[in-house]
């Protein structure tokens, strides 16, 4: 006992000394590289966190050798089973594999992986080793929840990167294609790589869709309308009516500015905006500017005042209506909630109903993005934004892609560069790659006050445009739509936010994820949704008593909205009222790329 205790204390002392020395050296190197401009602070911060994660793994190995030894024994047992599997297959007898991919893992679907014994064994060995490694990391002791998530995230990035499917010599499907095409797939892959580098100067992103298949204003964002108002941060689009009469109260949409508004106006059959217009709504949509260095000091207050508040005034002037309905999406909904609380404090009521699509108001569990929500990461992002004036939207897109790295990065790596194929044309993925930059002051506020400190749900914890705000004071009826597989705004967290919100609240849960769960037109008859007119304290209790419905949630929401839209009136043509048309929809702001806005 004394010997083991002495060894444990000695190991602990050595590890702590090693950790202190490495951390000091790491901080000095990070500061030097940042000061000399040899590497961006955001990248330095990420590399530092990766280093911390792998160092934590090494420390756990030293401090808990018995647990590691136990894991090694289990791993050896599985490899022994793989050896028996190999011998059985060599004798021509059928046998069950030792390790199989998860049902949603598409990396090893090709028959080539199973036809050839060597590659079958290779992919099973990879699965055995990667699962053992991740299981060992998950069992590490003494890590708080956020730290554990971060270590697991970087461990998963390592195992995913090392998959044999990612390399030409260890991927039998790629080897077969290379033989059949006499190597031209690799030549085409090199062309695709060069094109991606050219499309994303200074910040590499792999193409996820055929960019040549889409054009904003050509076959995307084609719903007819006019830009009727604009300021430094946004253009306001009013859409042309398609019905003989329209609802009295107009409908204002506040989309996210992390991406562009036309996620709501994709190809004609998938356009939520076009569907709304065809339902007899007078639709106004904010099209946010793609900001650059000149917008560095624009903050959350500015986005509220120059965004929803300016749009409310413009829509009122254009239609003569003093009240309207409003929809927010993602961060646009977070801003809409902020605006509603501010209007309540001002005792103003221009909005009679609000709809929140996949919305975080409570940030206590921010989903996968939480691995980047810590003071060190945010400081690195802030230092980069201080120099440039903004966060490059392409970096944000890559961050979100790495939350599902095998589906949203490595699958395209293999398809585009190893197989030499062009990615398929897919409107949602085109939008996903058409990112926007984020002004330094606004994004720093959003990361710290919302994500890090979760102050939006705390009464009077935030002061916006001179007023302290309280979401629970809002009395306007609201409709919350969340998505069951959403990894960005997890539905149980959005449910908690809906519970904080004042007024009558209707919560509905859609199938699928952050995008497909929202953009689900009725003709597809997909995913379904759950309803429950009660709002118990627990999201699990809500779901247990919820009723499932097939198809799209759009018609269900339309029935709810009818209560607030007023009488039927004559349709309003954009540009024929007090506000003159500036240009045709989709306007010019939406066409500016992130790299162009950055200068």
Calculate the average pLDDT of the chain. 89
Residues 161 and 308 in one domain: no
CA distance 343 to 349: 7
Residue 47 has a pLDDT of 59
**Which tokens in the block code for residue 353?**
């109903």
Q: Of the candidates 154, 181, 208, which is a domain's last residue? A: 181
Stretch 395-415: mean pLDDT: 88
Mean pLDDT, residues 379-404: 87
Is residue 351 predicted with pLDDT exceeding 70?
yes
Structure token pair of residue 447: 């990361």
328 CB-contact burial (10 Å; exposed 0-12 / middle 13-18 / buried 19+): buried
Does the residue 404 lie in any domain? no
Dig out the tokens for 379 from the structure: 């400081």
Span 112-163, pLDDT tens digits: 999 999 999 999 999 999 999 898 888 777 666 666 787 888 889 999 999 9
Is 352 contained in some domain? yes
- Partners of 568 in the beta sheet? 247
Q: Within a domain: residue 416?
A: no
The mean per-residue pLDDT over the stretch 183-203 comes to 89
Nearest in space to 237 (alpha carbons), one of 592, 571, 576, 584: 584
Say what the pLDDT of residue 153 is: 87
- Tally of domains within the chain: 3
Residue 446 lies in a domain: no
Compute the residue count for the chain. 599
- Token reading at 555: 């018609």
Shared domain for 20 and 46, answered yes or no, is no
Last residue of a domain, one of 148, 181, 214: 181
Are residues 358 and 275 part of one domain?
yes
Residue 79 pLDDT more than 60? yes
Answer yes or no: is 545 within a domain. Answer: yes
- Whole-prediction pTM: 0.86
CATH number of 522's domain: 3.40.50.1820
Strand partners, 478: 354, 505
Residue 374 domain-assigned (yes or no): no
Is the pLDDT at 511 greater than 60, yes or no? yes
Res 377: pLDDT = 84
In this structure, the answer to whether residues 152 and 299 fall within a common structural domain is no
Look at residue 366 in the predicted model and tell me its pLDDT. 87
Measured CA to CA, the distance from residue 166 to residue 214 in angstroms comes to: 28
Here the tokens at position 479 are 């409709």
Beta strand spans in 283-336 (E)? 283-288, 324-329
Same domain, 234 and 294: yes
Once rounded to an integer, what is the mean pLDDT over residues 434-444?
94
Cis previous bond, 586, omega within 30: yes
Residues 240 and 348 grouped into a single domain = yes
Nearest in space to 47 (alpha carbons), one of 346, 286, 297, 380: 380
Residue 413, in any domain of the structure: no
pLDDT computed for residue 151 by the predictor: 80
Asked whether residue 34 falls in the same domain as residue 44, the answer is no
The better pLDDT of the pair 8, 40 is held by 40
pLDDT tens digits, one per residue of 541-551: 999 999 999 99
More confident residue, 562 or 374: 562
d(CA 182, CA 314): 61
Point out which residues pair with 285 in neighbouring strands. Answer: 237, 253
Which of 207, 225, 217 minimizes the C-alpha distance to 267?
Answer: 217
Task: Give the residue numbers marked as catalytic.
Answer: 330
Range of the domain at 11: 1-38
Average pLDDT rounded to a whole number, residues 69-85: 86
Examine the domain organization and report whether 566 and 590 are in the same domain: yes
**351 & 484 share domain:** yes
Q: Which residue has the tokens 């756990």?
A: 60
Q: At a CB cut-off of 8 Å and minimum separation 6, what does 69 contact?
A: none
Instruction: Tell me if residue 282 falls in helix, strand or coil.
Output: coil
> Is residue 75 located within the same domain as residue 29?
no
Q: pLDDT tier at 502 (50, 70, 90 boundaries)? A: confident
The 10 Å Cβ neighbour count of residue 94 is: 6
Distance CA 39, CA 47 (A): 11
Rg (CA), the chain: 27
User: Do 76 and 108 reside in the same domain of the chain?
Assistant: yes
H helices present in 103-221, as ranges: 112-115, 117-138, 145-161, 172-180, 184-199
pLDDT greater than 80 at residue 3: no
Do residues 145 and 242 share a domain? no
Report the C-alpha gap between 445 and 129 in whole angstroms.
Answer: 42
Binned at pLDDT 50, 70 and 90, residue 277 comes out as very high
**Residue 220 domain flag:** no
Reported as a pLDDT band with limits 50, 70 and 90, residue 420 is: very high
Q: How many CB atoms lie within 10 A of CB 541?
A: 13
């Amino acid at each position: 006992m004394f010997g083991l205790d002495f060894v444990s204390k000695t190991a602990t002392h050595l590890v702590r000394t090693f950790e202190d020395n490495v951390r000091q050296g790491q901080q000095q190197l990070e500061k030097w590289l940042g000061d000399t401009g040899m590497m961006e602070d955001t990248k330095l911060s990420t590399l530092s966190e990766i280093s911390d994660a792998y160092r934590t793994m090494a420390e756990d190995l030293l401090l808990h050798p018995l647990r590691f030894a136990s894991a090694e024994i289990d791993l050896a047992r599985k490899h022994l089973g793989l050896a028996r599997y190999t011998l059985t297959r060599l004798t021509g007898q059928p046998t069950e594999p030792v390790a199989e991919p998860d049902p949603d893992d598409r990396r090893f679907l090709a028959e080539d992986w199973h036809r050839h014994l060597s590659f079958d064994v290779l992919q099973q060995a990879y699965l055995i080793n990667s699962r053992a490694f991740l299981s060992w990391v998950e069992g590490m002791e003494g890590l708080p929840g956020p730290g554990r998530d971060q270590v697991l995230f970087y461990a998963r990035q390592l195992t995913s990167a090392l998959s044999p499917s990612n390399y030409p010599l260890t991927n039998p499907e790629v080897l077969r294609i290379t033989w059949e095409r006499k190597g031209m797939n690799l030549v085409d892959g090199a062309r695709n790589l060069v094109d991606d580098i050219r499309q994303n100067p200074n910040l590499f992103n792999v193409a996820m869709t055929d960019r040549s298949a889409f054009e904003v204003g050509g076959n995307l964002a084609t719903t007819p309308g006019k830009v009727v108002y604009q300021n430094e941060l946004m253009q306001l689009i009013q859409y042309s009516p398609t019905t003989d009469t329209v609802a009295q109260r107009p409908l204002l949409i506040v989309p996210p500015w992390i991406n562009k508004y036309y996620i709501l106006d994709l190809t004609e059959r998938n356009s939520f905006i076009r569907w709304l217009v065809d339902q007899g709504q007078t639709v106004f949509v904010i099209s946010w500017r793609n900001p650059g260095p000149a917008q560095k000091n624009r903050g959350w207050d500015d986005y509220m005042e120059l965004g929803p508040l300016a749009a409310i005034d413009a829509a009122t002037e254009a239609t003569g209506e003093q009240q309207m309905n409003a929809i927010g999406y993602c961060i646009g909904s977070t801003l809409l909630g902020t605006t509603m609380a501010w209007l309540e404090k001002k005792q103003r009521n221009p909005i009679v109903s609000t709809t929140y699509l996949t919305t975080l108001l409570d940030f206590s569990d921010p989903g996968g993005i939480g691995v980047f929500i810590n003071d060190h990461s945010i400081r690195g992002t802030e230092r980069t934004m201080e120099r440039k004036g903004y966060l490059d939207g392409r970096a944000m897109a890559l961050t979100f892609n790495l939350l599902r790295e095998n589906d949203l990065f490595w699958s395209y790596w293999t398809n585009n560069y190893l197989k030499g194929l062009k990615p398929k044309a897919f409107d949602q993925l085109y939008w996903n790659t058409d990112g926007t930059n984020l002004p330094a002051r606004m994004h720093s506020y959003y990361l710290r006050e919302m994500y890090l400190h979760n102050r939006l749900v705390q009464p009077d914890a935030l002061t916006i445009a001179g007023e302290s705000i309280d979401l629970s004071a809002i009395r306007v009826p609201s409709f919350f739509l969340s998505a069951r597989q959403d990894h960005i705004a997890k539905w149980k967290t959005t449910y908690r936010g809906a519970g904080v919100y004042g007024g009558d609240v209707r919560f509905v849960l859609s199938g699928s994820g952050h995008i497909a769960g929202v953009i689900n037109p009725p003709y597809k008859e997909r995913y379904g949704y759950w309803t429950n007119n009660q709002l118990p304290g627990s999201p699990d209790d809500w779901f247990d008593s919820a009723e499932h419905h097939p198809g799209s949630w759009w018609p269900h929401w339309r029935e709810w909205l009818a209560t607030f839209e007023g009488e039927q009136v004559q349709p309003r043509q954009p540009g024929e009222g007090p506000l003159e048309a500036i240009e045709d929809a989709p306007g010019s702001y939406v066409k500016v790329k992130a790299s162009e806005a950055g200068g």
